[in-house]
Chain A
Amino acid sequence: MAAVHGDTHGHGHDDHHPSGIMRWVTTTNHKDIGTMYLWFSFTMFLVGGFLAMGIRAELYQPGIQILEPELFNQFTTLHGLIMVFGAIMPAFVGFANWQVPLMIGAPDMAFARMNNWSFWLLPVAATLLIGSFFVPGGAAAGGWTFYPPLSTQGGLGVDLMIFSVHILGASSIMGSINIITTILNMRAPGMTLMKMPMFVWTWLITAYLLVLVMPVLAGVVTMLLTDRHFGTSFFNAAGGGDPVLFQHIFWFFGHPEVYIMILPAFGIISEIIPTFSRKPLFGYSSMVYATASIAILSCVVWAHHMFTAGMPAVGQLFFMYATMLIAVPTAVKVFNWTATMWRGSMTFETPMLFSIGFIFLFVIGGFSGVICAIVPIDIQVQDTYYVIAHFHYVLVSGALFALFAGAYYWIPKWTGRMYNETLGKWHFWLSMFFFNLTFFVQHFLGLAGMPRRVPDYNLQFADFNMISSLGAFGFGLTQLLFLYIMISCIRSGEKAPQMPWEGAKTLEWTHLPTPAPYHSFEKPPVVN
């Protein structure tokens, strides 16, 4: 309660904050916390990327070269966990922290101190997760979905992973409670729900999804923990439990989770496309309804991840049709973005390039998703590289490209400096080229039957794997260029003009100076 008070009227006469490290440890400012979220997630992105490089280096040619199978399994498992929970999700929370208050005209997040806490839980969780590589038995190695029985049998690494997931879950729940409250209670006068920028809308819906499913994930990892150490038998067949039950509960969380990672990306794209097309977003209200329908549908399709786990045909049909139905609201969104660009005065700065790249590649990932939804095909491609290709198209060229787009788009507002446009374009085109080099061939590998999570493969897969690995190394190096662009922008970029993008219409551009001051909207703006 005191924290809430301190936040809402304490800022005006509190411009001098502690300096040095204590500024960051104790900060309750949404911009500081947003910055920390973004740096944290980028660090995790590099760690997860390092693991990906290890995986691709091992798969560069057939046979076992650099990673023993046990370590390879740890690499794939931790790559997934770190990228999902450490890189993509916190990055979007970072964007929410920076942008939600700015875009709705609020002075800060609703619970500033809780905001600080939800961030500082993350390094703890990351330490547990990464530290698990160094305990006896190594890190969890049963895949990022930690299915039993592998996860009930693993060593100390699995326990560390379980605690880490608990902490990450708590952090996400607090973060989303904060975002929901901020959006619902702290909008500027005149900012009705249907006037909110799409980014805010997508985050509102995402935050609701998070409080809906994150507690279920916390529950299921708690069940794993008690199965491992306290004699329960939720998933242990010997004690009357059922390992398939784990898959149901996990994917009840897991499928909404994939939309948690993509809806804010939709939001970022929906801000950038109108700006660089110099037209308002086409079909705003249909965008809102499409986002809500995707969120609702995402809760009733989970079992399409387990068509081969054993399910009556009726169940398979239901989950197949429900899954295919999601393509409808998603297509509405793609249609609206395209219609926004239609006859707009478009320019192609880096944020726009990444957004168009997003639309193009996300649609490919969406289509391969519909293909995977078809039961007979899914039974063929289950656990093959086809699935890997599918979800990297939606998560890398989807979520990650949207994050890059958003970073380039808002960095002038955050720092008051412009990034190097030429290097930004290089970053885009290199990412685009190497991404497709890495993952497009994995469709062919999957269709030819190459199983995922195996460090060795049949000779027939050798050429495509070499191409994929070369692409992955290139993609990894390209991201160091992004780091360079961002650091040189922050340290020595050209001064950004007050309005770097003339087409931008949201509050942070129209009502605030560039860079945004440390305390903004202490007097709420009036929205017409």
Chain B
Amino acid sequence: MITSKSKANVLMLKKLLIFTLVMFVFGYALVPFYEKFCEVTGINNLLQADVRVKDNWVDEERWITVQFDANTRGLPWQFKPLQTSARIHPGEPVNVMYEITNDSDREINGQAIPSYSPRFLDKYLKKFECFCFTKQVLKPNETRQMPVQFVIEPNLPTDIDTVTISYTFFELPGS
């Protein structure tokens, strides 16, 4: 009887250890799940291209100023927009060029992360092309010009007349 009891205990121990292991893996599984969830629900799609809408309405009456900002954090690159701002009509497609230069003598992978002001601009900003959608690999001393194409939708709240689009380049591990 005693041995059957301790066998039952060991069986229980094994089951619970397996359960513990499953929960550990579950913790890691939350990472891709979170990414997928954000992608499907569109909560956090800063790095994805938007679909172009054909019949775009342009609000010719209204002007807004778009300021362009560029930063690097911890990698030896120069990074700047070729124009610092643009005056546009909401709904009008805009094309801006940015330039990056690798000042070092090693190949570096960089990733640009966007940031907007006001914060809710991402709801009205549709980006069709951006260097931030993929990582950028720069050879030693290479310079590259890269476009960003976007539309700011005309339903942007009317009290906003200036917006800022900012990018920061970070070094990716393994470069």
Give chain A's interface residues, CB within 8 Å of chain B. Answer: 1, 4-5, 8-9, 110-111, 173, 177, 180-181, 184-186, 211-220, 223, 231-234, 237-240, 242, 245, 248-249, 252, 312
Bound CA span A450–B174, Å: 44
Q: Is B148 an interface residue (CB 8 A)?
A: no
Does the CB pair A249–B12 fall under 8 Å?
no
Bound CA span A220–B3, Å: 39
Q: Is B141 an interface residue (CB 8 A)?
A: no
Which of A186, A214, A216, A232 has the most chain B CB atoms inside 10 A of its CB?
Answer: A216
Bound CA span A239–B9, Å: 45
Does the CB pair A4–B171 fall under 8 Å?
no
> Given that A180-B16, A238-B73 are known contacts, is A4 also in contact with B31, CB under 8 Å in the complex?
no
Which of A5, A184, A211, A215 has the most chain B CB atoms inside 10 A of its CB?
Answer: A215
> Given that A8-B5, A242-B34 are known contacts, is A218 also in contact with B113, CB under 8 Å in the complex?
no
Contacts of A4 in B (CB 8 A): 6, 9-10
* CB-contact partner of B26 in A184, A216, A237, under 8 A: A216
> Given that A181-B9, A248-B34, A312-B43 are known contacts, is A211 also in contact with B20, CB under 8 Å in the complex?
yes
CB of B79 to closest CB in A, whole Å: 14
Does the CB pair B173–A185 fall under 8 Å?
no
* CB-contact partner of B19 in A8, A181, A185, A211, under 8 A: A211
> Given that A245-B31, A248-B34, A249-B27 are known contacts, is A184 also in contact with B171, CB under 8 Å in the complex?
no
CB of B46 to closest CB in A, whole Å: 9
> Given that A5-B6, A185-B9 are known contacts, is A312 also in contact with B41, CB under 8 Å in the complex?
yes
Does the CB pair A111–B13 fall under 8 Å?
yes
* CB-contact partner of A218 in B22, B24, B34, under 8 A: B24
Bound CA span A238–B75, Å: 11
Does the CB pair A219–B28 fall under 8 Å?
yes
Does the CB pair B27–A216 fall under 8 Å?
yes
> Given that A211-B23, A238-B73, A249-B30 are known contacts, is A180 also in contact with B170, CB under 8 Å in the complex?
no
Does the CB pair B17–A177 fall under 8 Å?
yes
* CB-contact partner of B12 in A185, A217, A219, A239, under 8 A: A185
Does the CB pair A181–B174 fall under 8 Å?
no
Closest to B19 in A: A211
Q: Is B21 an interface residue (CB 8 A)?
A: yes
Does the CB pair A215–B27 fall under 8 Å?
yes
* CB-contact partner of A213 in B10, B23, B34, under 8 A: B23
Bound CA span A171–B12, Å: 18
Bound CA span A234–B30, Å: 11
Q: List 22 A-B contacts (CB under 8 A).
A: A1-B10, A4-B10, A5-B2, A8-B2, A110-B12, A110-B13, A181-B13, A184-B12, A185-B8, A186-B5, A212-B23, A215-B21, A216-B23, A216-B27, A218-B24, A219-B27, A238-B170, A239-B173, A242-B34, A245-B34, A248-B30, A249-B31
Q: Is B83 an interface residue (CB 8 A)?
A: no
Does the CB pair A238–B23 fall under 8 Å?
no
Q: Is B149 an interface residue (CB 8 A)?
A: no
9 smallest CB-CB distances across A and B, nearest first, come from A238-B170, A219-B27, A215-B23, A231-B173, A215-B24, A216-B27, A4-B6, A181-B12, A177-B16
CB of B93 to closest CB in A, whole Å: 28
Which of B3, B5, B20, B47 has the most chain A CB atoms inside 10 A of its CB?
Answer: B20
Contacts of B172 in A (CB 8 A): 238-239
Main secondary structure of the interface of A (DSSP, over half): helix
Bound CA span A220–B24, Å: 9
Q: Is B145 an interface residue (CB 8 A)?
A: no
* CB-contact partner of A211 in B2, B10, B16, B174, under 8 A: B16
Closest to A235 in B: B31
> Given that A4-B10, A9-B2, A185-B12 are known contacts, is A239 also in contact with B111, CB under 8 Å in the complex?
yes
CB of B45 to closest CB in A, whole Å: 12
Q: Is B104 an interface residue (CB 8 A)?
A: no
Q: Is B56 an interface residue (CB 8 A)?
A: no
* CB-contact partner of A177 in B2, B13, B35, B113, under 8 A: B13
Q: Is B78 an interface residue (CB 8 A)?
A: no
Does the CB pair A239–B27 fall under 8 Å?
no
Contacts of B27 in A (CB 8 A): 215-220, 249, 252
Contacts of A220 in B (CB 8 A): 27
Bound CA span A232–B28, Å: 13
CB of A149 to closest CB in B, whole Å: 12
CB of A246 to closest CB in B, whole Å: 10
Closest to B6 in A: A4
Contacts of B19 in A (CB 8 A): 211
Contacts of A223 in B (CB 8 A): 28, 31
CB of B9 to closest CB in A, whole Å: 5
New A-B contacts (16) at CB < 8 Å, excluding given A219-B25, A219-B28: A9-B2, A110-B9, A111-B9, A177-B17, A180-B12, A181-B16, A185-B8, A185-B12, A211-B19, A211-B20, A215-B22, A217-B27, A231-B173, A232-B173, A234-B31, A248-B34
Q: Is B44 an interface residue (CB 8 A)?
A: yes
* CB-contact partner of A173 in B9, B20, B35, B174, under 8 A: B20
Bound CA span A213–B22, Å: 11
Closest to B46 in A: A237
Bound CA span A239–B110, Å: 9
Does the CB pair A242–B44 fall under 8 Å?
yes
Contacts of B111 in A (CB 8 A): 238-240
CB of A221 to closest CB in B, whole Å: 10
Contacts of B171 in A (CB 8 A): 238
Bound CA span A240–B46, Å: 10
Which of B6, B17, B170 has the most chain A CB atoms inside 10 A of its CB?
Answer: B6
Contacts of B20 in A (CB 8 A): 173, 177, 211, 214-215
Contacts of B25 in A (CB 8 A): 219
Which of B3, B21, B27, B170 has the most chain A CB atoms inside 10 A of its CB?
Answer: B27
Query: Per-position contact with A for B146-175: 1 when CB-CB < 8 Å, else 0?
Result: 000000000000000000000010111110
Bound CA span A220–B30, Å: 10
Bound CA span A238–B12, Å: 44
CB of B164 to closest CB in A, whole Å: 18
Closest to A248 in B: B34
Contacts of A248 in B (CB 8 A): 30, 34
Bound CA span A217–B173, Å: 25
* CB-contact partner of B170 in A214, A234, A239, under 8 A: A239
> Given that A4-B6, A237-B113, A242-B34 are known contacts, is A231 also in contact with B174, CB under 8 Å in the complex?
yes
CB of B16 to closest CB in A, whole Å: 4
Does the CB pair A233–B173 fall under 8 Å?
yes
